[in-house]
């Protein structure tokens, strides 16, 4: 899939479907996203190599006190807080290795915990502007509708956020109820292999939280964190620094999607989507718009999907409906959001195989529950 998207993007440029202005527009929007992706993946890989995630998993196992369902609820809480404060992409990168290490240490089925992480990364990314890059892009447009700042944004999104969270927990809990009934024995503490790399990586990961909510472009603190860890590993464990740290396939895939969607926008994509998106206010109109955004995200990734559907909003509440679609809807295809791609990379790095047909089937149910529930809750803010 990654090479198909890359080839399609290259053809869009080579054939002139995407002109110079369009290419510049893509570069301006995609560069910070790709820089963040590269940097935060390096941070995650080196923190994993330092043993940070294994240590965090052991701590979480002790907090769960031997009950699998209690441990799962702890993962739900961690995933929600991490997504709201750190962004869904950071949750996918930093929390996924924790829950996979946790499942491996406790000999539990990793899929319920892994799926919970990626679902919460998407479905709880609506509350704050920093929770999702689509939210940050939407801020300027919301100001044009008379909604300004974090307070104004949250006043529109708090109810859909809660509804999306409740829907995700309900579907996941029912789908994995048998796996969550058991018990486990908490593993004993284990000393880190190299205390210097371990504590450096731990401090770096902890400092990322305030850095991401400081107002800086997310790529900046992620790049600084990556450089610090690379420097430390270059001295202590040079063998851990390898080309495979960089997610080149994901970069090619995301770049190709951006190029293809930008080319399509210049050749009638907005006119094609307008009848699907509909017009007007109210539950039915908002659900139609959110459904269009969710469908577009599952075809072409949530960031370019947001850019494609945003011009069809026309009001603050309709713009939040677009955000509901591109934030809560990308549960079906693995390329529907960057967070899902990052999550899939983390799963493969840990040797966890994910059946994409089963992922899509459960995700379709989740999207069918979460998106309408969030749109219904949006009516409470009108």
Q: Which residues contact 49 (CB under 8 A, 6 or more apart)?
A: 197, 233, 237, 240
Instruction: For residue 67, give the 3-state DSSP assignment.
Output: strand
Residues of the domain holding 178: 2-381
Give the pLDDT score at 2: 65
194-223 pLDDT, tens digit per residue, is: 999 999 999 998 887 677 667 677 778 889
Two structure tokens written together for 215: 């107002």
Which residues, in sequence order, are bridge partners of residue 67? 183
Q: How far apart are CA 318 and CA 313, in angstroms?
A: 5
Angle between helices 195-212 and 52-64 (to 10 degrees): 80
Q: Which residues of the chain have pLDDT under 50?
A: none
Give the pLDDT score at 215: 66
Please give the tally of structural domains in the chain.
1
Matching residue, tokens 């960057």:
338
Give the pLDDT score at 213: 64
Instruction: For residue 267, give the 3-state DSSP assignment.
Output: coil
Q: How far apart are CA 308 and CA 311, in angstroms?
A: 7
Q: Which residues of 258-269 are buried (b: 16+ CB within 10 A; e: fewer)?
A: bbbbbbbbeeeb
Sign of the C-alpha dihedral, residues 182, 188, 189, 192? negative
Give the pLDDT score at 30: 77
Q: Which residues contact 296 (CB under 8 A, 6 or more apart)?
A: 273, 305, 308, 309, 325, 326
**DSSP 8-state symbol, 131:** G
Q: How far apart are CA 85 and CA 149, in angstroms?
A: 16
Give the pLDDT score at 1: 61
């Amino acid at each position: 899939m990654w090479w198909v998207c890359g080839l399609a993007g290259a053809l869009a440029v080579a054939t002139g479907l995407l002109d110079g202005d369009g290419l510049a527009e893509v570069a301006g929007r995609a560069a910070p996203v790709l820089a963040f992706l590269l940097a935060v993946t390096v941070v995650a890989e080196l923190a994993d190599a330092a043993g940070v995630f294994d240590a965090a998993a052991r701590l979480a196992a002790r907090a769960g006190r031997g009950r699998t369902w209690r441990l799962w609820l702890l993962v739900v809480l961690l995933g929600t807080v991490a997504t709201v404060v750190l962004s869904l992409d950071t949750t996918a990168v930093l929390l996924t290795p924790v829950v996979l290490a946790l499942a491996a240490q406790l000999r539990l089925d990793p899929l319920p915990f892994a799926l919970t992480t990626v679902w919460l990364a998407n479905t709880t990314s609506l509350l704050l502007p920093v929770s999702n890059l689509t939210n940050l892009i939407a801020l300027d447009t919301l100001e044009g509708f008379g909604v300004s700042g974090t307070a104004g944004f949250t006043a529109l999104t708090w109810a859909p956020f809660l509804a999306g969270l409740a829907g995700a927990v309900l579907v996941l809990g029912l789908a994995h109820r048998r796996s969550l009934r058991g018990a486990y024995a908490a593993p004993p503490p284990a000393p880190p292999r190299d205390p210097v790399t371990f504590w450096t990586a731990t401090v770096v990961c902890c400092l990322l939280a305030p850095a991401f909510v400081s107002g800086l472009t997310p790529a900046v603190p992620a790049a600084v964190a990556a450089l610090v860890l690379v420097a430390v590993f270059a001295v202590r464990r040079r063998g851990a620094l390898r080309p495979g740290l960089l997610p080149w396939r994901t970069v090619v895939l995301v770049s190709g999607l951006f190029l293809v969607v930008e080319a399509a926008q210049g050749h009638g994509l907005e006119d094609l989507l307008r009848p699907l998106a509909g017009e007007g206010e109210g539950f039915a109109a908002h659900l139609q718009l959110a459904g269009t955004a969710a469908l577009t995200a599952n075809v072409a990734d949530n960031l370019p999907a947001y850019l494609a559907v945003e011009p069809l909003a026309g009001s603050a509440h309709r713009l939040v409906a677009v955000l509901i679609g591109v934030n809560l809807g990308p549960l079906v295809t693995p390329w529907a959001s960057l967070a899902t791609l990052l999550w899939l990379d983390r799963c493969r790095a840990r040797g966890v195989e994910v059946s994409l047909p089963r992922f899509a089937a459960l995700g379709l149910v989740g999207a069918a529950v979460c998106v309408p529930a969030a749109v219904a809750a949006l009516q409470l803010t009108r």
